[in-house]
Amino acid sequence: MSLFSPFFRDVGIDLGTANSLIYLKHEGLRINQPTVAAVNTKTNQVLAVGEDAKKMLGRTPSYINVIRPLTNGVVSDFEMAEELLRNFLRQLRGRSVMSFRRGILAIPNHLTEVERKSAEDAARNAGCAQVFLVESPVAAALGAGLPIGQPTASLIVDIGGGTTDIAVISMGGTVISKTLKVAGDKFNEDVMRFVREEFRLAIGEPSAEAAKIAVGSAIPLDERLEFAIRGRDLGTGLPREVVLKNGHVRLALHKSLRTIVEAIHEVIESTPPELTGDMLEQGIYLCGGGSLLRGLAPLIQKETLVQTAIADDPLTCVIRGLGRIVDRYEEHQGLLDNPLKPLTINL
């Protein structure tokens, strides 16, 4: 270990639409907070970030904005994403004089060069001297313990907050992939729309998410689940409570789930035949918060005829993969996705 190692550390950053996780080299997962910030627009002051800011969603006066700086896996508010990340790194640093030498940042597949650059710049401006990118499905597959370095197909479906990344990985690289803007946030919107149309009741995103987690399912269940949800009656404008059943939420999510299943079909159909054969042996692995929806794995298995399983601790698959890259950088350097940039010619 170098004499300066305690002062210069490497971090893995999973800056997600819903949650941000940060791994500190040789110390493990240190930050796991919602990707939310609350700002006072009168003073331009950041009041809270993470869990404290999420509690304010839908409960603030007009001059306090609760912002989610990432939309569909892409930085939509650059300054706030930078401020949020800087705050998390400050929490990680504490009172020490530690600096962050290298940041390994997970990004969705199929980002444009501008979107990649915005994520890279946010991490660099927040305090990382060097920033390297890795595709989220590759990091997730590595974190799930799949044999991504071997010449065999590893099909990973990462259902996050803003995007669903579907990728076939072999020999340390992505053979074919597809990214959908259908994931956890879209599920919440589906529940909100269903409750509005079916019960004439307006509810917020936190209530929709709570209902999805409590009674949501992808297939009919043997048990009968119910969840009381409160909101504003669209007819009278007064508070009202209704009881949502698991059948209601399943109906609300049906279209979005069908979109994900069809996308998996498309990826499998576009995969080279030899790798398609490997899938029967290797199976499909689900990760991300959306994979915890009841009955999702059996639904995908039924539709694709391929054994489908949820990875161990699916919420942290990406950050565990980033952690392995951070801890053994030289060994996994080939997984990084930083393309050569064109030369700059000064005329």
How far apart (Å, rounded) are the C-alpha atoms in residues 266 and 277? 15
At 7 the pLDDT is: 65
At 97 the pLDDT is: 62
How far apart (Å, rounded) are the C-alpha atoms in residues 86 and 229? 36
At 5 the pLDDT is: 53
At 1 the pLDDT is: 47
Instruction: State pLDDT tens for residues 18-39.
Output: 899 999 998 899 999 999 999 9
pTM of the predicted model over 0.75: yes
Joined together, the tokens standing for residue 25 give 């080299």
At 342 the pLDDT is: 42
At 13 the pLDDT is: 93
Beta-carbon contacts of residue 135 (< 8 Å; ≥ 6 apart) = 106, 107, 108, 109, 165, 167, 174, 177, 337
How far apart (Å, rounded) are the C-alpha atoms in residues 310 and 57? 30
At 46 the pLDDT is: 87
At 6 the pLDDT is: 57
How far apart (Å, rounded) are the C-alpha atoms in residues 204 and 181? 20
At 289 the pLDDT is: 92
Mean pLDDT for each consecutive 10-residue tract of the chain (347 residues)?
Answer: 61 91 91 91 88 87 90 84 88 75 88 86 88 92 91 93 92 90 94 96 93 94 92 94 94 96 94 89 93 95 94 93 92 74 40
* 8 A C-beta contact, residue 337 and residue 133: yes
Joined together, the tokens standing for residue 3 give 């004499």
Domains by residue range for the chain, with CATH: 8-140+317-335 (3.30.420.40), 146-182+257-315 (3.30.420.40), 184-252 (3.90.640.10)
